[in-house]
Structure formats: structure tokens, C-alpha cells
Amino acid sequence: MEKPVTVCMGTLCLMAITAILASAPTARAEDSALRIAKQGSVEAGGRVIDCATNDGGDPKSTRWPRGRVVVDNVYATYQYPAEQRFPHPILFNSGGGHTARVYDTTPDGREGWLTLFLRQGFAVYGVDRPNTGRSGTDICKINAVKLGVAPVTELPAINRYAAESSWVTFRWGPQFGVPYPNTQFPIAAADNYYPQTISTYRDPDETPKSVAALLLS
């Protein structure tokens, strides 16, 4: 992976993105087709562990026996434009509770940031962090607790945004069901957004895992 120019996490880099889009050359209005030179996906970073509990339902499983599995890697899809105007790609790394899917298409069906930046001449990467989305999930400790061979304290801290918490956390409105008058979120399409949230590991070492994997990408 080439060196990225920006890593986007949640709303932290919204102002920077807006500035980049404003200063970048606009795509030709008549050219609605995406012009892509190459696209694909890649895994990066991670580590190999010996997982004794690959099957949480059967400690003597023959289909999923003890063995080596890769965990803590990142996964990313990438697209390079046919006319690349900028030397470095942009990595879109979503905030907690989401995958890179949030950059594909808006809840109301409009074009997302991945292809908007692609049209401007940037190569783009949509990143799923460790234990998120297509990067896969480390299930060894969860299964070990399920099978009774590890204490409950070994379970990772996991949470997920509810519809109610999404309204306040992402600043759609002061409380659930009450939008701010100037919100830019497509409230009418909120039901299309809710399935995009995912369960997320929240232990303190999750961020260092992402940093380590991205440094090796």
C-alpha cells in the first residue's frame, strides 16, 4: 500500500475533507461513469496465534480443531482512478461501531466519500479495523469462556450503537426522534443507516492493534 495522505476516523477529519474537495479539480459533469485503473482488496498486519477453541460448540470438534489463525489484521478495499491527480491515496478509517461500508453510499442512496474522492483523482482505501467487519474477529477467548475453560473476565468488552444513542452521539439531534433544524443527516433514511452499525471490541488495546496493522500496510 502506498503512503496515505489522510486517515479518516468518524467526524474527526470532516473539515479537512471538505477543504480538500473544495480545492480539488471538479469532475466533468458529463462524465458520470467512474474511470478506474485498478481495484481490489488487501489484508495487512496481524499476528498468528494458536487457537485452542476454534469451535465454541464442541471442544472436540474435528471440523474446527485447534490450530493457527490470524488475528489483529486490517482489511481494505482500494480503487485507483484512471487519471490520478494526487500522488498518495486516502485511507478512510471509520470510527468505532462501523466499517468502511459507511463511505460507500449514504443512507438515502447518494454517492459516498470513497467514489467522490476517486472522481477527484485520489486513490482511496476503505479500511476495516481489527476485529471489525471483513478483517474478521478473534473468537478464541469468547469460545473459551463459552466452553468453560476460561473465566468470564477473559471476555472482551463489546458494545453497539442503538438507534437512540446514534441520534445524540452523531449529533443528528438533541434526543432520539428530534433532529436539529440544520442537520445534514438524511433523517428520513435513518432506518437504512441502523443496520450499518456493528458490534465493536472496546478494550484499551484495540487502538494499538489498529495502529500496528496500519504501520505494516
Which backbone phi and psi does 212 adopt, to 5 degrees?
-65, -45
pLDDT tens for residues 9-61?
554 454 444 444 444 444 444 458 999 999 999 999 999 999 999 999 999 99
- Residue 207 is which amino acid? T
Which set of grid coordinates corresponds to residue 204?
484499551
What pLDDT is recorded for position 4?
Answer: 59
Mean pLDDT of the residues in the chain = 89
Residue 64 near residue 54, CB atoms below 8 Å: yes
Query: Mean pLDDT lowest for which of 15-29, 151-165, 192-206?
Result: 15-29
State the pLDDT at residue 1.
57
Beta bridge partners of 68: 50
Prediction pTM value: 0.84
- Cα distance between residue 217 and residue 209, in whole Å: 13
pLDDT of residue 18: 42
Burial code (b: 16+ CB inside 10 Å, e: under 16) for 128-152 equals bbbbbbebbebbbbbbbbbeeebee
